Amino acid sequence: MSKITIAIDGYSSCGKSTLAKALAAHLGYAYLDSGSMYRCVTLYALRKGLIKDGSFIKEEIIKILPEINLRFEFNPHTKASDTFLNEENVEKEIRMMNVSDNVSKISTIHEVRVKMVALQRELGKNKGIVSDGRDIGSKVFPDAELKIFMTADTDIRTQRRYDELSSKGQHVSYNEIKANLLSRDYDDTHRKENPLVQAKDAIVLDNSDLTREQQLEFILRLIKDLTLPVQ
């Protein structure tokens, strides 16, 4: 059978990207990291000095959009895709807290979302992709054959994020991370432009007590139930 589109949406630090990457690798599909795209816009705006103390002028962000070019490239060492902003590998920098603190607000800008959605659809027009984000199943790929909505306990998400940053040598307090997650949850679910919502035909995956292996097995069973081939 022909390849399909798999859309994974959900809250911050639920492990969406980790699951999406593993699933794409298992199926031999391309991985489309929509969250990285919004992080790149945010990083570029920060570098330009357009975001100060969490505030920015929307018109200034819109003006820089034509200057931004994005692409993904498979990294044979990490077995995952790296994100390139104007031909610079920014995979590590876009995960920093200063980007995390501002990305949800930048992603509320209509023109930013229009540009990113158009690029995502272009990258995924031939199917055979796994994509994760906030509006993948509801807006970007509403006709995706399989939609997943991920969630997890807030404290568990906070600990996962804390462990991730600590492993990368970034020293951020637990309370600071939790406040950031709660703020992003609010921004993501209350923005006017394509807010985080569970698509009507999405299947909920609460992974609070699930290992990565169990999550992958759960999705593969869903694909099998759809009578789609699994490699």
Rounded average pLDDT over 128-145: 93
The length of the chain is 231
| CATH superfamily entry for domain 5-217 | P-loop containing nucleotide triphosphate hydrolases (3.40.50.300)
- 142 pLDDT band, cuts 50/70/90, is very high
Match 């699930």 to its residue by tokens.
210
User: Coil, helix or strand for 62?
Assistant: helix
**Residue 167 exposed, middle or buried by CB count within 10 Å (0-12, 13-18, 19+):** exposed
pLDDT digits (tens, 9 = 90+) for 98-128: 999 999 899 989 999 999 999 899 888 889 8
Instruction: Report domain extents, the chain.
Output: 5-217
Q: What is the pTM of this model?
A: 0.78
Average pLDDT over residues 118-147: 92
Per-residue pLDDT at 1: 54
Q: What is the average pLDDT score of the chain?
A: 91
pLDDT band at residue 226 using 50, 70 and 90 as cut-offs: confident
Whether 201 shows a pLDDT value over 80: the answer reads yes
Contact 38, 193 (CB under 8 A): no
Q: What pLDDT shows up at residue 155? A: 97
Q: Is residue 225 over pLDDT 70?
A: yes
Confidence of residue 76 (pLDDT cuts 50, 70, 90): confident
Q: How much of the chain, in percent, has pLDDT values that exceed 90?
A: 69
For 1-5, 27-31, 40-44, 146-150, which range has the lowest pLDDT when averaged over its residues? 1-5
Question: Which amino acid is present at 134?
Answer: R
Buried b (16+ CB within 10 A) or exposed e, 19-55: bbbbbbeebebbbbbbbbbbbbbbbbbbeeebbeeee
Tell me the residue type at 40. Answer: C
pLDDT at 227: 58
- Torsions phi, psi of 229, nearest 5? -70, 140
**Which tokens in the block code for residue 210?**
């699930």
Read off the pLDDT of residues 178-189 as tens digits, 9 standing for 90 and up: 999 999 999 899
pLDDT band at 30 (very low <50, low <70, confident <90, very high): confident
